[in-house]
Amino acid sequence: MKKLFSFVLILTLLTSSCSWFEKQQVKKMEQMAMKIDKLNDELKQKEEAYRQLLSEYGLKGDKKLTPEQMRMLALTPEQRAYLKKRLAQEKDSSYSAIIQEILNKDEEIKQLRKEIQELKDKLPKPYVVQPGDNHYDICMKFLTEQKGLTPEEAQKLVERVNLLEYLLPGFEVYLFYDNGVFGTFVIQGTADMSPNQIKRYYKTKLINERDKARQEAEKLSAEVKDLEARKAELLAQLRELEQLKADMQNQISKLTSKNKALSQENLKKEKMLNSVFYHVDNYKALKKKGIVGRFLFGKPKLKKFNAVKFDKSADLREVDSITVNAEDAGLVKISGIYIMPSHFIKDKDYQIKISPDKKSATIFLINPDKFRMSKVLIAVR
């Protein structure tokens, strides 16, 4: 049987001015929840021993317990009466002991379940997590819809508590509010994993993603070095062509024209080697098209690189920033900007400054070498 109430307490008192009584109410709820968890551990151990006894009796006795009864681990009144009758008739002392132990353990389990239920009845009815739920929205809905707080008041309270970042369907979320005191904690409920287990899972996942990102960054660094070597080679070729042009300029007019064309082409290549190519668009529109997205509360990522047409460029020999207007993304004002792909790191490779009127924003390229020959998506929200 699953451990229904293994939980991580996520409970924080919200204001220092709350009364002693209100704080004690929160503490009392915490203690009851901890006691439920302890009783469930004890119940699990007793049920395991009980299951073994029921199996033994079902194999020896002339009336086997049903599979459903084995799952429920509790005798019906008829089954209990039957066992008591058999106990009175049974002459085999060892067999009588088994029957008596079954009756005793059945009573112990019933009492434990009763005690757990009585404790649960004293707590507020928990919210059972559904697919797609998150702790923040659950708390906001509770405070605004059930307790009548304004969204602003509710947000101030929720921002002061520790929220569980990842929820599984079946988790039970307890919520408490009384005269300025708000608390919340999460227990396992019917979920397959406990809150602690899910936190460890995602922590490991994030570490693996971080290591993968580092490997990709090292790979990109090697590619940048290769591009720099190619750039040096092209510049050397350009100098050779310019010298050849000077030597043959007075000899043949056709070669002069050809050299001129080659010079222009090389200048174009040089500009490409020193330019960043980018596209400005509305973040919501990009997200709707599936071009960008995010996992839970993670950083937005570019999912469909080839779906973006990088229609603008900036020569990094001439500029060290890119200016974006709100109207470029079909917006009235700019509230934020995402730079993708995610290997460009904010405050290390670039900085963003939004104008006071939020009509425009400037992206300062701190590390221009990293942006050379790169394609960048600027998602405006």
| pLDDT value at residue 361 | 96
Alpha helices in the chain (DSSP H): 20-60, 67-72, 77-89, 93-122, 135-141, 151-158, 195-248, 253-273, 283-288, 368-371
- What is the predicted pLDDT for the residue at 13? 37
Identify the pLDDT of residue 42.
77
List residues bridging with 378 in a β-sheet. Answer: 280, 339
The answer to whether 282 and 329 have CB atoms below 8 angstroms apart is yes
Q: What share of the chain is helix, strand, coil (3-state, %, to 5)?
A: 55, 15, 30
- The whole-number mean pLDDT for each consecutive block of 10 residues of the chain, a chain of 381 residues, reads 38 44 70 72 72 61 49 57 58 55 75 84 87 95 94 93 89 85 81 80 82 83 85 88 80 73 85 93 94 84 93 93 94 95 93 96 95 95 92
Q: Which tokens sit at 328?
A: 């470029």
pLDDT for 6 equals: 38
Query: Cα separation of 154 and 218, whole Å?
Result: 45
Longest dimension (CA), the chain: 127
- pLDDT value at position 38? 73
pLDDT score of 192: 79
pTM of the model: 0.39
Residue 11: per-residue pLDDT: 40
Residue type for 184, please? T
> For the CA atoms of 324, 329, 333, 338, what is the dihedral angle to 10 degrees?
-70
* pLDDT at site 232: 87
pLDDT, residue 158, reads 93
To 10 degrees, the CA torsion angle through 127, 129, 133, 136? 40
Amino acid 89: pLDDT: 56
